Every structure is written in structure tokens, then in C-alpha cells.
Amino acid sequence: MSNVAMELQDVRKSIGKKEIIKGLTFSIYKGEVFGFIGPNGAGKTTTIRMMVGLMQLSHGDVLIRGKSIKHDFKNAIREVGAIVENPEMYPFMTGWQNLMHYARMIPGISKERIQEVIKLVGLEKAIKEKVGKYSLGMRQRLGIAQALLHKPSVLILDEPTNGLDPAGIREIRQYIRRLAEEENVAVIISSHLLSEIELMCDRIGIIKNGELIATQTVQDSTTSETKNITQVSMQVTPMDRAIEVLKTDHTLDAKSQDEALIFQTEKEKIPDIVRSLVQQDVAIYQVNSTKSSLEDKFFDLIGENTIE
């Protein structure tokens, strides 16, 4: 079997006379986390609705492990776990009752499996409480639990970072990476904020006005061999000498901005730069580096956050 988990073939959607999705063609591979990025109204949710058969395709097809969502819905959807837009559950039932409800709809889900996913998303304490009392973050977790019950080979999460704090996002990142790496799940994760999901994605597709305008591989910073330019900002004194050192020792064009030293370099060079600054008696209080290239590219491509 091929490595492709999900394949979109010239997927289009028209509502009325308006074409909302204008021919999407791309594949998502096993064990890959694919970020589906675009501003609000770009068509992410609409695309996801078509991927899972909630909306009919006006044109094209979606194949999930080779099975068409149009012609072989039951077998195609069996491979998929998803949250579409907000993770809405029955508010008058407990988390556990909600999961049992969905478990009954798919053959072969044991109580142990339910307990396992509850543990994975960290909802053990709240699982006997009514979902109506859950915070948005807790509902996101329950949504993910619900999507994982039947061990899908494709996991689709529509804006799962909505309503989560940075700690929550980090946690999601951890178990999504684990699912992809250990269980070979293909994960599709949409967001209108690149920064929130960039770190968990292997590849990113940028959608705007219903068109895929770019796909881009995200370099994993720990294994990167390619040049990986990051933006560095340092708090140092004295500033003048620091700028001087960077110019002479490293031929870097640094500038002072908001009392911080700002420059761009490859990540691997940062230790050397710090060492030479120290040797020249520059005091360093803080070093920050942000990966800026992709974000810049994103904004270049997207332009303003406008629809049409």
C-alpha cells in the first residue's frame, strides 16, 4: 500500500453561484502532521466538511486510504477521526457518557480503549462531570478523545488550538507528535494562526480564497541540516561594543531596537556569537531566538487578513 493517507483530487465546492473551494489537489502522508493554514473565511472548514462527508463535493473526490468518501463512505470514514469547527458535545451528558455514545456507533471499542484516550488527553478528573460545565479547553480535549476512540489512521482537527492557553497548545502538540511518530497517524490540523501550530507540523499548506497557494516543509529544528535562519534578540551592555563585535567577528549586520540587539543568523552559530561577545567583555542578560522565515513567508502570501 502506498504511503498516502488522504488524497484530495481537484476538490471544488460551489454554494449558489459562488465557488468557495476552487480545486484543491494535495495528499497527506502517513505519520505526517499537515498544517492547513489560512485566514478566516479561506475555506478550511468547508474543505474539512467535504473530507469527512458532511458536505457533498461539487467536483472532484477525496480518497482516504484509497477509499472514496463519495462512493464508499462507510469504509472511508472508518479511517477518520475528526473535530469540525467547535468541539460540540451533548451538554447534558457527562464526558464519559458522551464517549460511550460515540463508542457505540463503531464496532469493537472496549472500555479499556475509552479509558486509554481519556488518559491520553488528561481528562480523568472531569470525565464524570457534565460537559455543560466544561471549559472550552476541556471540550477540545474531549473532542480529541472522541476522534481517537477507534484508532483512526487519519486525524482531522479543525482549529483545535482555539480557546487553549499556551500550556494547552504545548500539550496538544506533544500528543499529536506522538500519534504521528509512534502510531503513524496522518494528522491534518487547521488554524488561522501559523505561530500556534507551526511547531507541531511537518508540512504546511496555505489556503486563501479557496485555493491552495503554497505548501511548505517545516524544518525540524533539532535535525536541521539546511540553513535555518532565525531572528535573534539579545539584551546586552554595552550595545555599541556588541554591534562592533558582530560586525568584525561574524560579519553580521546587527541593529539596536527597543534597547535590544537584533540580528539574523543560523541557529547553529548562536553559541559562537555568545562566546565571542563574552570574550569581548559584553554582558549578556538575555538571548531570544524566533524562527521568522516561515511566518514572514506566510504573511507575504496571505497579505491582509481579508476575504476576497
Partner 1 sequence: MNNFFKLVYNEITKIYIRKSTWAMYIILAAIIIGVGFLSNIDELSSKQYSDDNWRETLEEENQELTEEIENAGEDGVFYDYNSRLVEENNYYLENDIQPDGYGAMQFVLENQLLLSVVSLLTIIIAAGIVANEFRWGTIKLLLIRPITRTKALLSKYVAVILFAFFTLLFVLVFSYIIGLIFFGFGSLNPHMLVTDGNGLQYVSVISEIIPAYGFKLVNLVMMATFAFAISTIFRNSALAIGLAIFLMMAGNQIVLFFSDRDWAKYILFANTDLSQYTAGSSPMIEGMTLGFSITVLVVYYVLFMAVAWAFFKIRDVAGQ
Q: Which residues are at the interface with partner 1 (CB under 8 A)?
A: 46, 49, 52-56, 73-75, 77-78, 80, 82-86, 88-93, 97, 101-102, 104-107, 146
Residue 38 binds which of partner 1, Mg ion, ligand ADP, none (CB < 5-8 A, kind-dependent): ligand ADP
As a whole number of angstroms, the distance between CA 299 and CA 12 comes to: 25
Residues 262 and 287 sit within 8 Å (Cβ to Cβ): no
Q: Is 213 in the site for ligand ADP (CB under 6 A)?
A: no
Q: Which of 169, 28, 14, 148 is nearest to 81 (CA)?
A: 148
Residue type, 68: S
Q: How far are the Cα atoms of 102, 112, 123 from residue 118, in angstroms, in the given order? A: 14, 10, 5
Residue 20 binds which of partner 1, Mg ion, ligand ADP, none (CB < 5-8 A, kind-dependent): ligand ADP
Nearer to ligand ADP, 40 or 290 (CB): 40
Cβ contacts of residue 106 below 8 Å, gap of 6+? Answer: 78, 149, 150
Q: State the number of CA atoms in the 13 A half-sphere of 22 facing the CB.
A: 13
Q: Is 46 in the site for Mg ion (CB under 5 A)?
A: no
Q: Is 191 in the site for Mg ion (CB under 5 A)?
A: no
Nearer to ligand ADP, 54 or 278 (CB): 54
Nearer to ligand ADP, 58 or 184 (CB): 58
As a whole number of angstroms, the distance between CA 169 and CA 209 comes to: 27
Residues in the chain: 308
As a whole number of angstroms, the distance between CA 191 and CA 308 comes to: 19
- Single residue of 11, 42, 218, 236 touching ligand ADP by CB under 6 A: 42
Nearest approach, Cβ of residue 139 and partner 1 (Å):
11
Q: Is 161 in the site for Mg ion (CB under 5 A)?
A: no
Nearest approach, Cβ of residue 298 and partner 1 (Å):
26
Residue 136 binds which of partner 1, Mg ion, ligand ADP, none (CB < 5-8 A, kind-dependent): none
Q: State the number of CA atoms in the 13 A half-sphere of 113 facing the CB.
A: 17
Secondary element (H or E) of residue 138: helix 136-148
Q: Is 45 in the site for Mg ion (CB under 5 A)?
A: yes
Which span sits near ligand ADP by CB under 6 A: 38-46, 65-73, 76-84, 220-228? 38-46
Per the DSSP assignment, residues forming a β-bridge with 215 are 205
Tell me the residue nearest to Mg ion as measured from the CB. 45
Residues 52 and 46 sit within 8 Å (Cβ to Cβ): no
- Single residue of 44, 139, 150, 173 touching ligand ADP by CB under 6 A: 44
- Single residue of 6, 28, 38, 81 touching ligand ADP by CB under 6 A: 38
Q: Is 161 in the site for ligand ADP (CB under 6 A)?
A: no
Q: Which of 140, 52, 41, 48 is nearest to 95 (CA)?
A: 140
Residue 26 binds which of Mg ion, ligand ADP, partner 1, none (CB < 5-8 A, kind-dependent): none
Contacts to Mg ion by CB under 5 A: 44-45
